[in-house]
Structure 1
């Protein structure tokens, strides 16, 4: 079997190219989304043009996806190159010369490491009939979750929320304090945006709880923040401990509860 020479469009090189020339949207589309040959399906027909990879993890090994095609025309087809839109994807064809009625298999190997978020990578198949327009565009779609190694420093899990501690110590506070803020590092280890708050009734009126940013995007790190307004401490004295149930995360109540300690003078 022969291996076709693979062209890679490495998107990281685009900034250096743009430093030399400002590309129009039409020129960029011609590179990233070229127009297919006319009557392509009358020459080379694929069993499928897109594969949904589902949900992968950055920790997964490179995944191989297979696209099978048949020469349904009357002349020999020679695949000259396969270009991909991401350096995370490599392409290989088992037989670049496809006679009428014969099949060929194109394998796209996708490496999810370093690619958290949405998968949308394409491979354009070029043949000797036309070097300018591809005969087919193959697509891999799906999602990649961040590597678990990224969350090593986060000891506690509340659904998809990772946090480094479950106790916040406000220290000594007084009614003369206008504002005091304590923070815990947190992260969203899930696939969907996360908005965390305190269940109503669990926080006294002089405390507020939020995250910064307010909405944690998938794979994003942030801060769980507790803010104290000393002006509302009227009548409060002594050491206090508040168990606060978090909303917006899954798990048993005991698993999604943090403790806030303070000494009110």
Structure 2
């Protein structure tokens, strides 16, 4: 039974038998079996076939926008016979492996190359590569490990909405349970990622809404609050209990569609 069919057989078995009955002495058989497919046990004699100079490499820190990092794992054939690498599997699609498919004579040296791509992989790096030879299709002779950290290159990533050099937490706000006797304000965190101060204003505001920033001038590299206020005493006389309007931020160089903020107003019934 090949590896793929064995995995589907385990999934079918789990659907009909509860996990506790598959375990032995408190062991989750399903977890162990599936883990053996993702992280297969090594061939016991693997160290007498290939000897690697090292099995673990710490790549340090890299940015998520960096080019793939190439790491080389040299090794030597110590088996006393010709041996050929048949495949290398990796635990993550972020890692690609390269190797020579030629048979290695006794004492011959070669290397396995791993290329790690940090794109969309922010956080801790821990990825594995399993080296298989013609001596065993089930158990790899070595497990190569890459560890490190991928750092986000965008220091303003916590402000995902973009208006040119202005970054914002969001581009929409909601005023709920509005009545004529209140004048609530909603705040949107923003930051000036440019090199010049920003003084913002708003266009297309209805008569019952107001806009300002705190502070009034946003210095380069600094955060601020956009403050949108709705005056309940000036709300339009309309049968609708819910309506929306858009206004445009003025004072930044960005397309008009990027500078729009949506406001939803819900009147208390």
Class of the TM-score when normalised by the shorter of the 2 chains: 0.5 to 0.7
Task: Give the 3-state SS of the residue equivalent to 2:162 in structure 1.
Answer: coil
Q: 2-side partners of 1:17 and 1:77: how far apart?
A: 33
From 51, 59, 79, the equivalent of 1:53 is: 59
How many correspondences in the alignment? 181
Q: 1-side partners of 2:161 and 2:223: how far apart?
A: 21
Contact 1:96 1:104 in 2 (8 A): no
* Match of residue 119 from structure 2: 113
Q: 2-side partners of 1:80 and 1:262: how far apart?
A: 64
TM-score computed with the length of structure 1 as normaliser: 0.53
* Match of residue 48 from structure 2: 42
1:153 equivalent to 2:162? Answer yes
Contact 1:66 1:106 in 2 (8 A): yes
* Match of residue 141 from structure 1: 147
Contact 1:121 1:139 in 2 (8 A): yes
Q: What CA deviation, in whole Å up to 9, does each residue of 1:16-73 have, x standing for no partner?
A: 9997664810121111211111132222111111111222222112221111111122
- The structure carrying a bigger strand percent of its residues is 1
* Match of residue 132 from structure 1: 138
Greater C-alpha Rg: 2
Q: What CA deviation, in whole Å up to 9, does each residue of 1:238-258 have, x standing for no partner?
A: xx9976xxxxxxxxx995564
Matches within 5 A, 1:1-265: 22=14, 24-146=30-152, 148=154, 153=162, 181-184=186-189, 256=222, 258=224
TM-score computed with the length of structure 2 as normaliser: 0.53
> How far did residue 96 of structure 1 move?
3.9
Q: 2-side partners of 1:19 and 1:185: how far apart?
A: 48
- Any gaps of 5 or more consecutive residues in structure 2? 15-28, 171-180, 192-211, 232-269
* Match of residue 209 from structure 2: none
- Any gaps of 5 or more consecutive residues in structure 1? 1-8, 166-175, 187-239, 244-252
Q: 1-side partners of 2:119 and 2:213: how far apart?
A: 43
Task: Give the 3-state SS of the residue equivalent to 2:84 in structure 1.
Answer: strand
Distance 1:136 1:258, change over 3 A: same
Q: 2-side partners of 1:257 and 1:113: how far apart?
A: 27
- The structure carrying a bigger helix percent of its residues is 2
